[in-house]
Amino acid sequence: MIEKKREPARWIFAKELRDTSLTIMEGDDEARKEYFITPAGSFGRRILFCGKITQKKEENEMTKMTVADHTGAFYVTFFSKEFNQNTKIQIERVNENDEVMIVGRTTYFKTNEGKMYININPETVRNISETDTEYWKVRCALSLNSRLAAIREIRKSQDIDDKHLGDLGFTQDEARGCIKASELYEGYNMGQLEEIIAGMSVYQFSDTAIKLREKVMDIIRENNPFGGITYEQILEKLSKEGVEPRQLDETLNLLGTDGEIFEAEKRKFKAI
Amino acid sequence: MESSKNLKIAEIKGEVMEINVKAKILSLSKREVQSAKGPLTYHYGLIGDETGVMPFTAWSFPTTVRENDVYEISKCYTKSYKEKLRIYFDNRTEFKLLTETMEVKRTYKYYEIKDLNLNDKFVTVEGLVTSENRREYEKDGEKKEVFQYILKDQTATIPLSSFGKKLEAGKYARIEGARLDEFNGYYRLNMSDKANVEYINIDLKDEEKIMDIVNLRGAVGGITVTGFIINMGEKSGLVVRCSECNLKVDDIRCSDHPEAPLKYDIFTYFTIDDGTDYLQVSAGFEALKEIANINREYLDNPQRPPLKKEVKEKIESALTHHALKIKGNLRINNMGISLRSTEISAITEDLVKSLKTEINGGSN
Ligand SMILES: [Zn+2]
């Protein structure tokens, strides 16, 4: 599957990485390597992402950081070694609440129950501007959007091959990754990833969503100390005012797009 | 039994069974694939006659059939493959070698400039004809002239040399039968006075098209990419050149021009990643001056010659790990494709906004 001179860094949202529960082994015996494969068909061993540092802790030779984009959090762990002192200097320069761009290797941790966590081992960490972050978000959305479209094509006709996807305009990586992902994540519901795209497309939010914005934000913020608040709980708090799920969805999308909130767990929201 | 029909290539329309053609084999290749019944060998290529050209696939093929020979081919059929009509030969097809010559009508496939590639050397292209330059040369004791242009379409630019035929600069032309080649790592087009030129009334929109790195193919110009600069070459920074020959001087003087004074210049090379792939980029003074805030006065100041470390830091802090927009010309070498930048700028909010319009809501 991978035959490139150098492994590219994949650009993916936190949500897509968090939904990743599988890896694939590629290459011959000695060069055998473990690649993540996301439900939306991105695969690799290195990612590039942007976001805000929400937490940074140093213990001895180890630094742990949580970096949030508008869809969730990335978990970054750095071990200071002789060969990575350049990265160490870069990490020392960044602080909580900084916007950063990180390139890092993925490492995998599986629990006994079979749940997989992906940790990022940073190679590059750098403060960036908000515009740079916005740029990353848009490019990421375009990439995700394209791969979701490939998966929809694959689901339409099972015997579609990478050649055919190529004719439809998908890149080789997209075609291969999406075919593999469709096989491996058969029942995966793409709804939430599609919502991320919908939330980012140039779309006029309704007056209701804009009016609800502050109220929903307050509810979420109040619940941050308790680890966030679920969708159902927010809806319940708003039910007296006759707010419908559709309106809440739109408001949450609006807040997500503006980078005010993120999903801390499945359907559980926190303020950034 | 149904009798077969004699057809010219241009007369073949849609999927038909049992036809006969008289045609020349223009190209012939062999391919082996794995089928359920084991390895399968087939041939493919192009055939043509005086009316046109068509691709073929041969499931079975006499070993005596050769490129550039003319045959009477009977009992073949056509099928549409990937929306393109192909002619098929199987074990019922008969080939009869003819001794006659045949002038094949060439049709040249149309390419957007960004998609040009050396696998297809005779092409149809379109674009605005710009920057005319006339040159004379001598061939076989005869004076000849060549007109040089830059052809620019919506996707990219490419140098075009027209031998013996002056084009109308400033107009949008469609050129059939231009020949593509590579010189010094860059693509260029050549055309003779026999190439067919038509002028079309099209206003080329002056908008910048941002390319995905993964889609870059040939060594064409006028390309714009965006991305994060992920690492910078060790030797980036201040360079010293000979004022006479402009070559880089590693020693204290130029070996060819030891008397010539030296001058300072800047140069950098780095990798840019846009999420689809990455690309090597090089940049000199013109591309760097604004973004790195380095001007000629700074480099030429005899009171305070530029410091190596300072220059490197200026370039590094302006470029490394930032998201940038880069314009330039693609070049091919043995390492693959790289970009020589002519312009480097920061990603602006407006650019993000315009990229955003390309996202079209989730499901469809
Ligand atoms: Zn010299």
Per-residue pLDDT of B99-116, as tens digits, reads 988 888 777 888 999 999
A43 touches chain B (CB under 8 A): no
Report the chain B residue with the minimal C-alpha distance to residue A132: B323
Q: Nearest C-alpha of chain B: how many angstroms from A82? A: 20
| % of chain B at pLDDT higher than 70 | 97
**How many CB atoms within 10 Å of residue A60?**
7
* B267 pLDDT more than 80: yes
Q: Given phi > 0 = left and psi -120 to 50 = alpha, else beta, which region is A27?
A: left
- Number of helices and strands in chain A (H, E): 9, 12
Which pLDDT score is estimated for B270?
96
Q: Nearest C-alpha of chain B: how many angstroms from A10? A: 6
CB B302 within 8 A of CB B308: no
Say how many Å lie between the CA of residue B256 and the centre of ligand 1: 5
Q: Nearest C-alpha of chain B: how many angstroms from A12? A: 9
Q: In the predicted model, what is the mean pLDDT of residues B29-49?
A: 82
Q: B359–A202: do the CB atoms touch at under 8 Å?
A: yes
Question: Residue B156: what are its φ and ψ, rounded to 5°?
Answer: -170, 180
Pick the CATH number of A205-272 from 2.40.110.10, 1.10.10.10, 2.60.120.380, 1.10.3470.10: 1.10.10.10
| % of chain A at pLDDT higher than 70 | 96
Please list the residue range(s) of chain A that carry CATH number 1.10.10.10. 205-272
Q: A131–B348: do the CB atoms touch at under 8 Å?
A: yes
* B363 pLDDT more than 80: no
Q: Nearest C-alpha of chain A: how many angstroms from B335? A: 10
Q: In the predicted model, what is the mean pLDDT of residues B356-364?
A: 61
CB B68 within 8 A of CB B24: yes
pTM of the shown model: 0.73
Of B336, B349, B359, the CB nearest to A201: B359
* A136 pLDDT more than 90: yes
ipTM of the complex: 0.73
- B19-35 vs B223-232, strand pairing mode: unpaired
Instruction: Name the more confident of B27 and A120.
Output: A120
* A103 pLDDT more than 80: yes
Q: A138–B359: do the CB atoms touch at under 8 Å?
A: yes
Q: Give residue-wise pLDDT tens across range A104-127.
A: 999 999 888 878 999 999 999 999
B348 touches chain A (CB under 8 A): yes
Q: Give residue-wise pLDDT tens across range A141-193.
A: 999 999 999 999 999 887 888 888 988 889 999 999 999 999 999 889 998 99
Report the chain B residue with the minimal C-alpha distance to residue A48: B275
The highest-level CATH class for domain A9-129 is: mainly beta
**Which residues on B lie below 8 Å from A167 (Cβ)?**
82
Of B275, B349, B362, the CB nearest to A139: B275
Q: Among B105-114, B156-165, B219-228, whose mean pLDDT is lowest?
A: B105-114
| DSSP type of residue B248 | B
Say how many Å lie between the CA of residue B249 and the centre of ligand 1: 8
Instruction: Name the more confident of B1 and A259.
Output: A259
Q: Give residue-wise pLDDT tens across range B236-250.
A: 999 999 999 999 888
Give chain B's mean pLDDT. 89
Q: Give the C-alpha distances (Å, rounded to integers) separating B264 from B103, B171, B258, B305.
A: 59, 41, 16, 9
Q: In the predicted model, what is the mean pLDDT of residues B6-25?
A: 91
* B313 pLDDT more than 90: yes
* B81 pLDDT more than 80: no
Q: In the predicted model, what is the mean pLDDT of residues A59-72?
A: 93
Say how many Å lie between the CA of residue B297 and the centre of ligand 1: 22
**Which residues on A lie below 8 Å from B276 (Cβ)?**
143, 171, 173
Written as six digits, the tokens of A90 are 């870069």
Structural domains of chain B, with CATH: 5-98 (2.40.50.140), 109-200 (2.40.50.140), 213-359 (2.40.50.140)
B204 touches chain A (CB under 8 A): no
Q: Is B121 helix (H, G, I), strand (E, B) or coil?
A: coil
Report the chain A residue with the minimal C-alpha distance to residue B271: A8
| DSSP type of residue B221 | B
A171 touches chain B (CB under 8 A): yes
Residues 1-60 of B with CB under 8 A from A: none
| DSSP type of residue B160 | E
**Which residues on B lie below 8 Å from A101 (Cβ)?**
228, 321, 323
Q: In the predicted model, what is the mean pLDDT of residues A189-213?
A: 81
Most confident of A66-80, A195-209, B19-33, B189-203: A66-80
Please list the residue range(s) of chain A that carry CATH number 2.40.50.140. 9-129
- Please choose, from the candidates B277, B31, B119, the residue with its C-alpha nearest in 3D space to the C-alpha of residue A11: B277
* B95 pLDDT more than 60: yes
B228 touches chain A (CB under 8 A): yes
Q: Provide DSSP, A124-169.
A: EEEE--HHHHHHHHHHHHHHHHHHHHHHHHHHH-TT--HHHHHHTT
> Measured in whole angstroms, how far is the alpha carbon of residue B175 from the centre of its chain?
16
**Which residues on B lie below 8 Å from A159 (Cβ)?**
none
Which pLDDT score is estimated for B361?
44
Which pLDDT score is estimated for A5?
59
